[in-house]
Structure formats: structure tokens, C-alpha cells
């Protein structure tokens, strides 16, 4: 009876094969775990971004997401002005949007109306909070103002926010309401802050009525994809790669549009409507570079107001006189 001789070389090769298989298995397992973890994180972040109801686990996370820190004086001014605007006499109005969603607005009619502002507020905020400080400037300069409650927020309907992708069409619905209400001859200016700014800039790519004379966008981002990537990388300090793929897929499921399917760049590159872009240099939520990109892309008449030292949505507070002067010049030049 013969006995097979096992050489050292054979054992070494077998050991290497087992080791390689083990390492490969561990690597595949690690990748699978990482992918699963990334999916969970992306799903949660997408819910925070788009869903009407903020996930309980994310309550109070807005400051970390935005990266913005407001001083006590600014916060006090914002709260007081928001309450003051809310208390002014006005009419609360309701329309049904192009897709059947109930939308709410607040109509402030000026007796000596020279122009109409349709104002779109930002992400997870309110109309009176975002525009409380600037409202008197508008009223004192003969503006009627329609403050819109954006879909998926506050008293308007909708389960999701669209980061401008859907809301741009809501602008058309509100323009139609204003023109039916006022006769359609008064100059209209679309105004927005943050997500509201992205909304009105994206609306620039639509066929707007002739009496829409301009768009004023304060600290707007370029697309959902761009702002989500910026927040993930810079404020939350996480890679966006695979999470971005998941976020885009979930975005399509929720609002039937991808996060990079449309952008302010797309809209501005084909518009002839005058646009005024405003941004603070110290914006930690929406980087000022996005307004520079919007400015470069804009095909029509354009103005750019950059406010040194202003964080997100603080440009009017930081340089009120300059802000008012530039806006009045914009009205004068494009009326």
C-alpha cells in the first residue's frame, strides 16, 4: 500500500488558497455591510430632505445639516419681525395646483400697487420667518406681496418637498392666480430665499407670462443633487458616492424626478428674464459658488450682489441699505 506524499509546497499553496478565500469573504462581507449602512443613512437623509414629517431621530438636526449658527441679535430680530408680519392685516388664500395639491398663500394688497412680489420661502421654514425682515421694505415701496406656503410644508398640501423641481410649476399656478386677481397688467417679480430661490430660478426655464419682469433669488442652490452632496461632504463629513445613488433613486420614487434631472443652470441658460442673484460669502449651508455658477449660466440680463460676512439668508440683515438700493435699481431697470 502506497502513501501519497504531501509536500511542503502543496500545503503552502493550499494554505494560501484558504487564506485568500477567507480574505475575499471578509472583504465581500465588509463591502456588503458598508453598502447596507450607506443605504440606511441615505434613506434617512432623503426622508429628512423630502418628507413633510421630519423623522423623530432627526429632530433638532437642522443646525448640523445647515452648518449655520445665528447670533442672538439676529434671531431676536427674526422672531420679532416674523410675528409682526403675521399680525399685519392680510388675506389667506387657497388654490389647487397643476397636480391637484392644495396650496396656501397670504395676500397683502397695496392700495398704490406698482408691482407684485410672489415670495417663496425656504426648506423647513415659514413665509413670515423668511420674509419678516424684508416685508416692510416691499410694502413701503408700493409692492403688493403674495407670500406662498411651499408644498409639503406648513398649511399647504403634499407629502413631499421637491427642492424646486416640482415647486417651479407651482410658481405658474400662483402667477395665474395673481393675474386673474389683478387683471394681468401689473409687473410681477418672483422672489425666493434658499430653496425658494432655487424654486424661482428653476421657474425661469418655463414659459412665463409677459408681465413677469424679473426674478430675485437670495442664496439659492443649483440642484437637489448639488446641495445634498455639499451638505453630506462638508457639513455631515461623509462621502456622498453610493449614498447619492440611493438618494437619487429614493427621490425618483417620492417625487417622480431625479435629484439631478433639472437644475437652475438648465433654467437660466435658456431664459431671457432679468435675474438678480444675492448671496453671502460666509454661507455654510448653500455655498456662494452656486450663485456664481448661476450667474455665469444666466442667458438674460443679470445682476449679482455678494455680501461679505453674511451667512445663510442673512444678506439683508448684514447690508440692509446696499441690499435695498440694488433691489430698487433692479426694479427701475426692469419694469
Q: Is the pLDDT of residue 209 over 80?
A: yes
Among 45-54, 84-93, 181-190, 307-316, name the one with the lowest average pLDDT: 45-54
Per domain, the residue ranges of the chain are 7-50+230-258, 68-223+262-333
- Under a CB-based contact definition with an 8 Å cutoff, are residues 161 and 194 in contact? no
CA neighbor of 277 nearest in space, from 299, 318, 308, 306: 306
CA distances from 304 to 151, 196, 216, 288, 291 (A): 28, 17, 10, 11, 8
CA angle in degrees (0–180, nearest 5) for 291-54-159: 85
Task: Give the pLDDT band of residue 18 (cuts 50, 70, 90).
Answer: very low
Q: Give tens-digit pLDDT for 74-94.
A: 999 999 999 999 999 999 999
CA neighbor of 98 nearest in space, from 18, 158, 15, 155: 158
Burial 94-114 (b: 16+ CB within 10 A, else e): ebebeeebebbbbbbebeeee
**How confident is the model at residue 25, as a pLDDT?**
47
Averaged over 244-249, what is the pLDDT? 95
Q: Is the pLDDT of residue 206 over 90?
A: yes
SS (H, E, C) the chain: CCCCCCCHHHHHHHHHHHHHHHHHHHHHHHHHHHHHHHHHHHHHHHHHHHECCCCHHHCCCHHHHHCCCCCHHHHHHHHHHHHHHHHCCCEEEEEECCCCCEEEEEEECCCCCCEEEEEECCCCCCHHHHHCCCHHHHHHCCEEEEEEECCCCCCCCCCECCCCCCHHHHHHHHHHHHHHHHCCCCCEEEEEECHHHHHHHHHCCCCCCCCEEEEEEECCCCCHHHHHHHHHHHHCCCCCHHHHHHHHHHHHHHHCCCCCCCCHHHHHCCCCCCEEEEEECCCCCCCCHHHHHHHHHCCCCEEEEEECCCCCCCHHHHCHHHHHHHHHHHHHHCC
Averaged over 214-220, what is the pLDDT? 98
Share of the chain above pLDDT 90, in %: 82
**How confident is the model at residue 69, as a pLDDT?**
79
Cα separation, 272 vs 268, in Å, equals 8
- Under a CB-based contact definition with an 8 Å cutoff, are residues 298 and 274 in contact? no
In terms of CATH, what superfamily is 68-223+262-333? Alpha/Beta hydrolase fold, catalytic domain (3.40.50.1820)
Among 17-26, 242-251, 269-278, name the one with the lowest average pLDDT: 17-26
Cα separation, 277 vs 294, in Å, equals 8
Strand-pairing partners, residue 193, are 218
Q: Is the pLDDT of residue 127 over 90?
A: yes
Q: Give tens-digit pLDDT for 263-307.
A: 999 999 999 999 999 999 999 999 999 999 999 999 999 999 999
Amino acid at each position: 500500500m502506497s502513501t501519497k506524499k504531501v509536500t511542503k509546497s502543496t500545503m503552502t499553496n493550499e494554505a494560501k488558497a484558504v487564506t485568500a478565500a477567507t480574505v475575499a469573504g471578509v472583504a465581500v462581507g465588509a463591502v456588503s455591510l458598508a453598502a447596507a449602512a450607506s443605504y440606511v443613512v441615505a434613506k434617512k437623509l432623503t426622508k429628512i430632505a423630502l418628507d413633510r414629517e421630519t423623522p423623530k431621530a432627526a429632530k433638532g438636526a437642522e443646525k448640523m445639516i445647515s452648518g449655520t449658527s445665528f447670533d442672538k441679535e439676529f434671531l431676536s430680530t427674526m422672531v420679532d419681525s416674523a410675528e409682526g408680519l403675521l399680525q399685519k392685516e392680510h388675506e389667506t388664500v387657497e388654490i389647487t395646483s397643476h397636480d391637484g395639491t392644495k396650496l396656501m398663500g397670504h395676500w397683502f394688497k397695496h392700495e398704490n400697487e406698482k408691482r407684485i412680489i410672489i415670495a417663496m420661502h425656504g426648506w423647513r421654514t415659514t413665509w413670515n420667518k423668511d420674509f419678516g425682515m424684508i416685508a416692510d421694505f416691499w410694502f413701503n415701496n408700493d409692492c403688493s406681496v403674495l407670500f406662498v406656503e411651499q408644498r409639503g410644508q406648513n398649511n399647504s398640501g403634499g407629502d413631499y418637498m421637491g427642492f424646486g423641481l416640482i415647486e417651479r410649476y407651482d410658481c405658474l399656478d400662483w402667477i395665474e392666480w395673481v393675474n386673474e386677481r389683478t387683471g394681468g397688467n401689473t409687473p410681477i417679480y418672483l422672489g425666493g430665499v434658499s430653496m425658494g430661490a432655487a424654486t424661482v430660478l428653476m421657474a425661469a426655464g418655463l414659459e412665463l407670462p409677459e408681465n413677469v419682469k424679473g426674478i430675485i433669488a437670495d442664496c439659492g442652490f443649483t440642484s437637489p443633487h448639488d446641495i445634498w452632496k455639499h451638505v453630506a461632504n462638508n457639513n455631515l463629513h461623509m462621502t456622498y458616492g453610493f449614498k447619492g445613488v440611493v438618494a437619487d433613486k429614493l427621490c425618483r420614487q417620492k417625487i417622480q424626478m431625479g435629484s439631478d434631472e433639472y437644475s437652475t443652470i438648465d433654467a437660466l441658460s435658456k431664459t431671457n428674464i432679468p435675474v438678480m442673484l444675492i448671496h453671502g460669502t460666509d454661507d455654510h449651508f448653500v455655498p456662494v459658488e452656486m450663485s456664481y455658477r448661476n450667474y455665469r449660466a444666466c442667458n438674460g440680463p443679470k445682476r449679482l450682489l455678494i455680501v461679505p460676512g453674511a451667512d445663510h439668508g442673512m444678506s439683508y440683515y448684514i447690508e440692509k441699505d446696499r441690499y435695498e438700493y440694488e433691489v430698487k435699481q433692479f426694479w427701475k431697470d426692469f419694469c
